[in-house]
Amino acid sequence: MKICLSGYYGFDNAGDEALLSAITSTIKQIDDSAEFVVFSGYPEKTAALHGLKAVSRINPFVIIKELWQADLLISGGGSLLQDVTSSRSLPYYISIVLLAKLLRRPVIFYAQGIGPINRGFSKFLMHHIANKVDLITLRDNDSISLLKEMNITKPPIKVTADPVFTLEPSETDYERADSVLSGFFPDVSNVIGVSVRKWRPLEGYQELLAKVLDRLVQKGYNLVFVPMDYPNDVYESHKVANLMTEKAYVIEDNLSSFEHIALISRLDLMIGMRLHSLIFSASRGVPFAGISYDPKIDAFVNAFGLEPLALDYDEMNGYIDRLLEDKSMRDGVKRRSEEMKTKAEETAHLALGLMK
Fold of 171-340: Rossmann fold (3.40.50)
Q: What angle do CA 24, 30, 36 make, to 5 degrees?
A: 30
Tens of pLDDT, residues 305-316 = 999 999 999 999
Domains 2-159 and 171-340 share a fold: yes
Which amino acid would we find at residue 178? Answer: D
- For the chain, domain boundaries: 2-159, 171-340
Tens of pLDDT, residues 231-286 = 999 999 999 999 999 999 999 999 999 999 999 999 999 999 999 999 999 999 99
Which amino acid would we find at residue 166? Answer: T
- Is the pLDDT at 186 greater than 90, yes or no? no
In the structure, what pLDDT confidence band is assigned to residue 85 with cuts at 50, 70 and 90?
Answer: confident
Taking Cα atoms as reference points, which of 54, 70, 60 lies closest to residue 96?
60
Q: What is the pLDDT of residue 92?
A: 97
Prediction pTM value: 0.91
- Is the pLDDT at 117 greater than 80, yes or no? yes
Considering the segment(s) 2-159 as one domain, its CATH architecture is 3-Layer(aba) Sandwich (3.40)
Tens of pLDDT, residues 120-179 = 999 999 999 999 999 999 999 999 999 999 999 999 999 999 999 999 999 999 999 999
Q: What would the mean pLDDT of 80-106 be, rounded to a whole number?
A: 96
Give the mean pLDDT of the chain: 95
In the structure, what pLDDT confidence band is assigned to residue 28 with cuts at 50, 70 and 90?
Answer: very high
Q: What is the pLDDT of residue 188?
A: 84
Q: What is the pLDDT of residue 163?
A: 96
